[in-house]
Chain A
Amino acid sequence: MNMIHVQGLEKHYGDLHALRGISFAVERGEVVGFLGPNGAGKSTTMKILTGYLVPDGGSCQMAGIDVVPGDPGSRRNVGYLPESTPLYRGMRVDRYLDFVAGLHGQERAERKASVGRVIEACRLGRHAGRRIGWLSKGFRQRVGLAQALLGEPDVLILDEPTSGLDPREVVRMRALISELGKEKTVLLSTHILSEVEATCSRVIVIAGGQIVADATPMEIARSGEAELTVVLRVPQDQLTSFSTAAIGRDLAHVPGVSRLISSEDCGGGTVRLVLDVRRAPGSLARSGEPVAELVADTLAKRGWKISELTRRSDDFEAAFLEITDPNRMAMAGPLVRGDVTGPTDSESPEIGSSNEIESLGPREGNAEGEGGNA
């Protein structure tokens, strides 16, 4: 079942068209990163999902229940940590959590148990009797997370949960989120791209009020500017007749290749070509066919042998900048899962000497490592 189901969300703030038909779905157990530049519409979307704001159009369901802003019952299944963690600073941590549990309709014994449980889960034990205003930013953030967990929600919406924390607290918070992601569906927004790679199995990128990408962190990283460098050997029989420019023209027509960046005759029948394989609109690569394979196929048909095939893709941050560029969006449309050539294209049997350089590999191991430390 989809734990978060969002269909065609629209929101205006006066003249500003903040959300332009946002639609996505998140399944149980997914930890989804919600990325985008400032003012992209992340917080607005989250406020609508949690029932605080009323959308101008569209609908959303959380854990199968329609979110109706006027109806308190429809938000029982959602835990929310807003940006900047607003808390009643004059209250003691335990009393604050007791208050929130009470608002969730829990009776005395149930409150005691659930407050104890979230204090334990967020490691607030030593600070339970202290005023929230006296706590450090890191602990206040944990109190914010603790209140989000109180109603035993299936879905957690976390708006920039690590902003303003010191690096040690960031690691702890990420570990906590990864831990929670084992049981709950988590949607978290952030500006920190490495955070997404560390904690999220999927990324939704939003810019200018619309979704510009919905893919795995690695797919996003691969969608950035990429170059394919091909070093090929021309067969003996064509040595006298081949033209570097003609080869370049041939390859420039391969779906997924947007242009030939450079071509160089290295002598002795060896040609070095650099192709721009950044995702082009309407390219076959969008349906998942690896560009490298198509290039290799084309060359094989001509009887040319590949001696080297190297892909250089930029990192996640570069990809993010490119995806959220308003000009690109108009040109290429959104990036969705399966769009980008997968990691297998470097291992394609047809490309014997391929040597794909990944400037940014999957970081699952990293996330686990952090989880283990906490």
Chain B
Amino acid sequence: MSSELGTVAWVFRRELGARFDSMSALTVTIVFALVAHGLYFFLGHPVGDLQLPSLWAGRVASLQVVFAWLPLLFVGLIPALTMGAWAEERASGTEELLFTWPVSGRASVLGKFLAVWFFLGLVLTVAILPLAIMVSSLGNLDWGTVFGGLLGAFLLAGACIAISLFLSSLFSEQLSAFLSSALLLGLLWSAGLLVHVMPPGLADAVFYTSPYAHFFDSAARGVFDLRDLIYHTSLMVFGLWCNTLVVEGRRWA
């Protein structure tokens, strides 16, 4: 088991290193921060049930607007971070070599997942923390809601990453992996808007199964709910399990 943890750590290190080695890490962070800040300062969140004014319009010392936008930003951000994780390995043939080294499918799936999750955590922190510091200098910011929101966003990201990585393992073209997972995450996000045109029973069921339902009502408002933790953790485990089945299943091709 200890050697398996060791291989998880090595896969994690390599994946994370690969992200920092290329310019993509810097680009993604900058674009994400610019978009989040622009929305926060100028647009607010005029979409769905959680309607919020921008900072300049509302003049409230809160980061709720940013957290409310995160699910939609994840629809573009997470597929961009995960698309290469398996699709590129498969296209270049490195996946074959990886599985002839003493590495289990489970360990490599977990290593890749943790690397993307950790990287996204860094991007979130780098983009949101300076914002929080600035706002707290302007007004009375409730840091509890900031950390609650960050934690909730981190959990939501974990679930979305696990799903996206699984989709990446199904393709050998990065573009297909990106499009399919952006489409799926986008559909899940829009479920929150579509519930208004659905029959009430169906709407509840659809909304409750969407990862975003477990974010908007709690973490986005700065509340940390234990049920969200359980929900997102189960989604992560399910995504990683499917991912392991797919990569291990290729041995039977």
Task: Show the binding face of A for B, using Cβ within 8 Å.
Answer: 13, 47, 50-54, 69-70, 72-73, 75-76, 78, 80, 82-84, 86-91, 95, 99-100, 102-105, 147, 151
Contacts and interface: CB of A to CB of B under 8 A. Distances in A.
11 contacts: A51-B99, A52-B100, A52-B251, A78-B100, A86-B96, A86-B97, A90-B18, A95-B17, A99-B13, A102-B10, A105-B102
Contacts of B176: none
Given A70-B104, A76-B102, A82-B97, 10 more contacts: A52-B100, A53-B251, A70-B251, A80-B97, A80-B100, A86-B96, A90-B21, A104-B101, A105-B7, A151-B102
The 10 closest A-B pairs by CB, nearest first: A86-B93, A72-B102, A50-B100, A102-B10, A86-B94, A80-B100, A54-B251, A103-B101, A69-B251, A90-B21
A103 B100 CA distance: 11
**Interface size class for chain B?**
20 to 34
Nearest to B6: A105
Contacts of B104: 70, 72
Contacts of A84: 93
B253 interface: yes
A75 B18 CA distance: 26
B5 to A, nearest CB: 11
B100 A51 contact: yes
Nearest to B94: A86
Contacts of A82: 93, 96-97, 100
Contacts of A147: 97
Contacts of A50: 100
A89 B97 CA distance: 14
Nearest to B92: A86
A75 B100 contact: yes
B103 interface: yes
A47 to B, nearest CB: 7
B225 interface: no
A103 B10 contact: yes
A151 to B, nearest CB: 7
A342 to B, nearest CB: 39
Contacts, number: 81
A99 B248 CA distance: 21
Given A84-B93, A86-B94, A91-B17, A103 B251 contact: no
Contacts of B14: 88, 91, 99
Contacts of A102: 6-7, 10, 13
A4 to B, nearest CB: 15
Given A95-B17, A102-B10, A103-B7, A47 B96 contact: yes
A144 to B, nearest CB: 9
A45 B115 CA distance: 34
Interface string B1-39: 001001100110110011001100000000000000000
A91 B92 CA distance: 14
Interface in B177-203: none
B244 to A, nearest CB: 11
A86 B103 CA distance: 17
A95 B97 CA distance: 16
Contact of B21 (A51, A87, A91): A91
Contacts of A99: 10, 13-14
Interface in B83-99: 92-97, 99
A87 B101 CA distance: 13
A355 B92 CA distance: 54
Contacts of A73: 102
Contact of B101 (A47, A54, A100): A100
A46 to B, nearest CB: 10
Nearest to B21: A90
Interface in B202-253: 248, 251-253
Given A86-B92, A102-B6, A53 B253 contact: yes
